[in-house]
Amino acid sequence: MAARLAEQPLSGQKAYSVEYGACEEAICEVTHAGAEIARSTLIMMQAAQSMAFTIVIVDSYQVSKDIGATPADSGLLVGMFMGGGMVGNAAMTAVLHLFPNAWQNVRYWLCVCHVFNVLPAVTYLYLLYHLQALGGRALPLLLLCRFCWGLGSGLAGQLAHVVITQVTPLAELPDQMQRKSFWQSMGMGMGPLAAGMALWIYDLLPWQFGLEIGASCTSLILLQLLLGLAILRCPQSVQQHEHKPEDAEELGHTGSKQMIFLGACYVLSALRGYCLAGTEVGTALLLEARYHWSRKEIGLIIGWVFIATVPARVGYLARKDRFSVVTWIRILSLSAIVGATILFSSTFLPHGMSLILADLIMFPALYLGEGLVRGLMMQSVRSHTSISSNTASFCALQLNNFSRALAPWCARYTISTGKGQNLFAVGQLMCCCAFLCVFELGVQRGLKKA
């Protein structure tokens, strides 16, 4: 009897331990599911922001002609969106510095970003309706509107970077950042594609209600749908993933070496942004002004070029275990250089075909390659304490936004000087070569194990 009584507490304790373990496992599963929903929602929001950036590319040259502006001004109209993104990025960084756990309230910040995106979009739509009446005031007002439109993009970009870094296991960060870059690429392609489809539908309508309104209207509708869906799907809050130091890839960053490594990652982010934004905007201008493509055709073809990122990503996912991350970045960087070289082939590939082929190679290569670099950077930040993930992502995004704000103006100014496609190609080739050099000298040397 005494023996049976002595065994009862142990039996109850065992049952309690089993029940507690089951509850703890269930909580972990719920937390993991919430983190994945938050990641997916924020990545989808980044795609919508990229679409808002590129939606005006197709119409920007025509708008500049309607108000008496230069081709370079049309590039400024595209890039000013990223000027606002820099301010939004800085604002979110300041908030996260003052309130380090604010990133956990994901749904609240999505609502804030939604407001900063919808209101400027509606205003931009209104200004397009009244271009002729505004006269000389049209360009400053359009630029101001685009700047305000980019504020929400900057807020969301910094939030996404920090949240994804905090809720993701260290070993998964390169792939998650590459996933984010992939969907940003898709968003940039959906902008011109939506504009081209809007113009195509406009031509089929039995009534005409304004030539320039189609692309912006499509942008507003799709952006609202995407962001509204993001807010509904996202959990109210998320928690930081507890990681072990051995989960990360072994990185040799200490003191000044880590700063060199991070600095190289920042430069690669800027080069990627400059090359891609400049190529997309420059291609659109050359196809319209030199090769006399219609805006509808330009929007559709640029959109499909960006969708070429899909088979590239599928191929990467199918073969990613065959090579190390470093080797994959080298392969993608060399592919981008080959693509930039094709920009010089206007004689052998006439009627703008050289531009299309070059873009088909460059866009996927640069997006996937820089995404892997960004993942290595955030992995390094998470496994070392000398710099926070908030600060690291702020620096990377600021340089990326600055380069994407500057590139459209530079590309269209270069083309409008009379040097045309060849001078434009020189700039893009230099960026692609610099990307590989900076990676080899700054990033690859910081890795102990590839």
Concatenated DSSP letters of 157-183: HHHHHHHHHHHS-GGGHHHHHHHHHHH
Question: How confident is the model over 258-276, as pLDDT tens digits?
Answer: 778 888 888 988 998 899 8
Residue 12 lies in a domain: no
Percentage of residues of the chain with pLDDT beyond 70:
81
Domain range spanning residue 362?
Answer: 34-446
Residue 14 lies in a domain: no
Map tokens 């990229």 to a residue.
Answer: 50
Q: And the tokens for 262?
A: 């991070």
Least confident of 186-200, 230-244, 435-449: 230-244
CA dihedral 303, 309, 310, 311 (to 10 degrees): 120
Structure-model confidence comparison of residues 127 and 255, the more confident one: 127
pLDDT at 214: 55
Residue 76 lies in a domain: yes
Question: How confident is the model over 131-156, as pLDDT tens digits?
Answer: 878 877 889 999 999 999 999 889 98
**Does residue 244 surpass a pLDDT of 60?**
no
Question: How confident is the model over 167-212, as pLDDT tens digits?
Answer: 888 778 778 877 887 888 788 888 888 888 888 877 777 665 555 5
Q: What are phi and psi of 447, to 5 degrees?
A: -100, 125
Residue 328 lies in a domain: yes
Which of 109, 82, 78, 117 shows the shortest CA–CA distance to 224?
117
Residue 9 lies in a domain: no
- CB distance 162 to 181 below 8 Å: no
Concatenated DSSP letters of 81-129: HHHHHHHHHHHHHHHHHHSTTGGG-HHHHHHHHHHHHHHHHHHHHHHHH
Domains in the chain, number = 1
Return d(Cα 101, Cα 103) in angstroms, integer.
5
pLDDT at 383: 55
Please give the mean pLDDT across all residues of the chain: 80
Structure-model confidence comparison of residues 19 and 219, the more confident one: 219
Over residues 56-69, the mean pLDDT reads 87
Concatenated DSSP letters of 199-236: HHHHHHSSS---TTHHHHHHHHHHHHHHHHHHHHHS-S
Over residues 229-255, the mean pLDDT reads 64
Percentage of residues of the chain with pLDDT beyond 90:
21
pLDDT at 382: 59
Give the confidence band of 18 by pLDDT, cuts at 50, 70, 90.
very low
Residue 437 lies in a domain: yes
Question: How confident is the model over 314-359, as pLDDT tens digits?
Answer: 888 888 888 888 899 999 999 999 999 998 877 677 888 889 999 9
pLDDT at 15: 46
pLDDT at 403: 93
Residue 394 lies in a domain: yes
Question: How confident is the model over 92-115, as pLDDT tens digits?
Answer: 999 988 998 888 888 888 888 888
Residue 64 lies in a domain: yes
pLDDT at 336: 93
pLDDT at 146: 92
pLDDT at 211: 53
**Does residue 32 surpass a pLDDT of 70?**
no
Chain centre to alpha carbon of residue 124: 22
Over residues 30-49, the mean pLDDT reads 79
**Does residue 1 surpass a pLDDT of 90?**
no
Q: And the tokens for 59?
A: 């119409």
pLDDT at 90: 93
Q: What is the CATH number of the domain that holds 266?
A: 1.20.1250.20
